[in-house]
Amino acid sequence: MKVALVGIGKIAVDQHVPAITNSPDWELAATVSRHGSVDGVEAFTDLGELLETRPEIRVISLCLPPVPRFAYAMQALQAGRHVMLEKPPGATLAECHALEAAAKAAGLTLYATWHSREADMVPAAKAWLADKVLKKLTVTWKEDVRRWHPGQDWIWEPGGLGVFDPGINALSIVTEILPHDIHVTDAVLEVPENRQTPIAAQIGFHHPQGADVSATFDWRQDGDQIWEIEAITDGGTLRLSGGGAQMEIDGQPSGEAAALDGEYPRLYDRMSALVQKGGSDVDLRPMTLVADAYTLGRRDTVAAFHEDG
């Protein structure tokens, strides 16, 4: 299938282009971007022009920041194209519901992707937790924003999510592996005095079986990056680390440690299957938790953040 990639930034170049190029199911047929391009691929600066001149491209994959994404997605759906959304699927939940309704009405595929769910050990963690009683779950997601999001000022503006841009990855795993849904009960959001979105957050959750569930997100991490989820149950303790690439049960490794380079290929495999069977996949639970954290969260002003330190 021919696919057009819209938004040629860091995530597109690092993840989407290799995943498409190495897939037997896909051909990168065009790009749309004001600033970026891919060697050997026809480049457009306007989505409308691509939709008009390349009707054989049936799938549009959007890698734009969240705020402008809705307009592009709706334009593609209204032109009869299937749409794949980078996480988070939009700037607001209402936007996502509108896109889902439009795709359903047109009989098109809409896929709200969560790449961290495709980490190697996430399915194994889900299977292990399925018959356990959860007592405590702790999420610790700490990374260096300068390392992973250099120069991406949009992330600090309204709709950019701030530390929830990586934090939503953790929540996408949690909502996938837990047998029961959780919801936010309290949150503290640490917002730099010169920014609009938080640089750190602490969140508490309600669990229907009474488990103690909490998350700590921080973008000021020096040294080793930490992406961990620990679940204490009646049957032992599970620990996911490396963003879901490694798993331990009671301190013992379970399976081989894996790299995260399989996440995006699996997303495109899933999109291929959805298009072929005429289905959609729009799970908004991770985004709902983030929205509720913003609604309930107390804002604490912290020191200014500057890209150059």
Question: Which residue do the tokens 């990168």 mark?
Answer: 28
Question: Which residue do the tokens 């079986």 mark?
Answer: 209
- Residue 84 to residue 107: CA distance in whole angstroms: 15
Active site includes 87?
A: yes
Query: If you count DSSP H runs as helices and E runs as strands, how many of each does the chain have, helices first?
Result: 10, 15
Distance from CA of residue 215 to its chain's centroid?
17
The token pair that represents 212 in the structure block = 């103690």
Cβ contact 19:265 at 8 Å:
yes
- DSSP conformation letters of 150-210: TT-GGGGSTTS-TTHHHHHHHHHHHHHH-SS--EEEEEEEEEETT-SS-SEEEEEEE-TT-
Cβ atoms within 10 Å, residue 238:
24
- Residue 280 to residue 104: CA distance in whole angstroms: 8
- Residue 115 to residue 300: CA distance in whole angstroms: 30
Residue tagged active-site, from 10, 87, 132, 277: 87
Residues 6+ apart with CB under 8 A from 180: 134, 207, 208, 209
The token pair that represents 124 in the structure block = 């194994």
Write out the catalytic residue numbers. 87
